[in-house]
Amino acid sequence: MSSRDWRKALRSPPAYRVGNRTFKLQTHYITMIAVVGVIVIILLYASVSTRSAETLVSYGLNNEVNRDAHKKYSSCVNNVMYNTTYPLTAPVPTLHGIKYRIGIISDMDKLSKSPDEPHTWISHYRKGYLTWNRSMTPAVSIFWDEGPPKLLKTKYSEKGRGMELSELIVFNGKLLSFDDRTGIVYEIDESGRSIPWVILMDGNGHTDKGFKCEWATMKDGWLYVGSMGKEWTTATGQFVNTHPMWVKRISPLGLVEHEDWHNRYVQIRAMVDIQFPGYMLHESAVWSPVHKKWFFLPRRMSKETYDENTDERMATNIMIVADENFTNFEVKHIGQVIPTHGFSSFKFIPGSHDQAIVALKSEEYQGKIATYIMAFTIQGDILYPETKISDSMKFEGIEFV
């Protein structure tokens, strides 16, 4: 065979005979298909690898640098996966108004150590009903379940203390509470088990101490968790750090971001002419999606230097309202000042269009503890007078469950 015939044979596609039909395979088509197939496989692999890397970043690296990297992921969480059920128990219409299920959670400080079980820490979860009817006087009535509160337990602690639960909130269809010693965020399930979900670390998150959680609220599908909002000082008011002035932002899937709110807290207390070494101590804050504003009910405040002995009598009755950007503020007053009774938690009453609030007040004075509850409008009108609900337990979280 001549060289010309060889070249012709190479250019001609091979022919195959099946029965009495002859097929010719076009080799250049096969080559193109193979190349396209390889490209598709590479793209699919790259896509899977990219998604895995974003997930690793979202879960493993909790810092501001990665916020842009997971914007698409966050949007998916907010718009698709968030469970908006609230309250968890359906309200019941009655002749006296709409009846809601409520729950409160205790922070017993050192008394949280179980006297009966070794290496166990406890909290008390009490439930009841709140009935709301804006056209009646009083507009709010509250009744508690009979019997002792449910006992919640954990084996987790920090330096011998734990289960000092300081807030209660429904987030993503789950009931959560927050240990202000360990920084653990617990899910409280229907059987009363306390299941750790997220651990929050102090300050910017790169510390070895648990975050002192004091308040929590939901905004735009994210859970915001704050601390005292004042500088950490010694018992006599000497500056140590600003770790309690950070806020944690948590996605429904547990991604944690750390936000420095130092300037915001300074602006808030400046509204009542307080500057460091004076202080304002926060244990309750709620974002209102209706008003697009932040509501704060500080527990204590003083224009004087912090002192742990005099602090017990520094309770306040003010409510501070800030717009979303913390540029415009309002200061209002709720009832009378009782120096040892300070706000520890509050929620807007569902169905009130964020016009009515139910709140807890805590008392810690000369070794004695007590808890009070009250309800009022955002204008300061009292709907349910301050009423003692316990003189042996300090409840610091309330929620519509």
- Tens-digit pLDDT profile for residues 136-174: 888 999 999 999 999 999 999 999 999 999 999 999 999
More confident residue, 205 or 70: 205
The average pLDDT across 323-337 equals 98
Give the whole-angstrom CA distance, residue 299 versus residue 139: 25
pLDDT of residue 270: 98
Reply yes or no on whether the pLDDT at 48 is more than 50: no
Which H or E run includes 206? Answer: none
Q: Considering only residues 32 and 113, tell me which one the structure prediction assigns the higher pLDDT.
A: 113
**The predicted structure's pLDDT at residue 137:** 84
Residue 75 pLDDT > 80, yes or no? Answer: no
Which residues are within 8 A (CB) of 362 and not within 5 positions of it... i.e. 6 or more apart? 283, 299, 341, 342, 344, 369, 370, 371, 372, 394, 395, 396
Query: Higher confidence at residue 193 or residue 73?
Result: 193
Residue 22 has what pLDDT? 41
Q: What is the pLDDT of residue 163?
A: 98
Q: Is 106 annotated as a binding residue?
A: no
Cα–Cα distance for residue pair 195/199, rounded to 1 Å: 11
2-16, 136-150, 151-165, 268-282: lowest mean pLDDT where? 2-16
- The answer to whether 167 is a known ligand-binding residue is yes
Phi/psi of residue 79, each to 5°? -90, -25
Predicted local distance difference test score (pLDDT) of residue 80: 45
Which pLDDT band, with edges at 50, 70 and 90, does 34 fall under?
A: low
- Residue 81 has a pLDDT of 81
Q: Which amino acid is at 83?
A: N
pLDDT at 16: 37
pLDDT of 201 above 50 = yes
Taking the chain, what is the end-to-end CA distance rounded to the nearest angstrom? Answer: 91
The average confidence (pLDDT) of the chain is 87
- Please compute the mean of the pLDDT values over residues 242-271 and round it to a whole number: 98
- Residue 206 pLDDT > 90, yes or no? yes
- State both tokens at 131: 């009935």
Report pLDDT for 37: 60
At 39 the pLDDT is: 57
- The owner of tokens 């009846």 is 99
Is 350:97 a contact under the CB 8 Å cutoff?
Answer: no
Contact between 360 and 372 under an 8 Å Cβ cutoff? The reply is yes
What pLDDT sits at residue 60? 34
pLDDT of the residue at 119 = 97
What digits encode the pLDDT tens for the residues 337-363?
Answer: 999 999 999 999 999 999 999 999 999
User: Given pLDDT bands bounded at 50, 70 and 90, which one contains residue 292?
Assistant: very high
Q: Yes or no: say if 279 and 268 are a contact pair by the CB < 8 Å rule.
A: no
214 in a labelled binding site: yes
Q: How many CB atoms lie within 10 A of CB 4?
A: 8
pTM, two decimals, is 0.82
Percent of the chain with pLDDT over 90: 78
What is the band of 281 on the pLDDT scale with cuts at 50, 70, 90? very high
Residue 29 pLDDT exceeds 60: no
The secondary element (H helix, E strand) that includes residue 60 is helix 27-60
218 φ, ψ (degrees, to nearest 5): -105, 135
How large is the average pLDDT for residues 59-85?
A: 51
Does residue 125 contact residue 103 with C-beta atoms inside 8 Å?
yes
Q: Answer whether residue 109 shows pLDDT above 50.
A: yes
Rounded distance between C-alpha atoms, residue 200 and residue 254, angstroms: 11
Does the structure show a pLDDT above 90 at 224? yes
* pLDDT for 55: 26
pLDDT at 8 over 60: no
Residue 191 labeled ligand binder: no
Query: What are the strands of the beta sheet with 368-377, ordered from one edge?
Result: 341-348, 356-365, 368-377, 382-390
Sign of CA dihedral 189, 193, 198, 203: positive
**How confident is the model at residue 42, as a pLDDT?**
47
Does 74 belong to an annotated binding site?
A: no
**pLDDT at residue 316 tops 70:** yes
| Confidence category of residue 32, pLDDT binned at 50, 70, 90 | low
> Which residues does 71 contact at the CB level (< 8 Å), separation at least 6?
none
The model's confidence at residue 311, banded by pLDDT at 50, 70 and 90, is: very high
pLDDT of residue 24 exceeding 50 = no
Gap between the Cα atoms of 94 and 24, Å rounded: 82
158 among annotated binding-site residues: no
Calpha distance 186→195 (Å, rounded): 5
pLDDT at 138: 85
Beta carbons within 8 Å of 9's beta carbon, 6+ residues apart: 1
pLDDT digit string (tens) for 240-253?
999 999 999 999 99
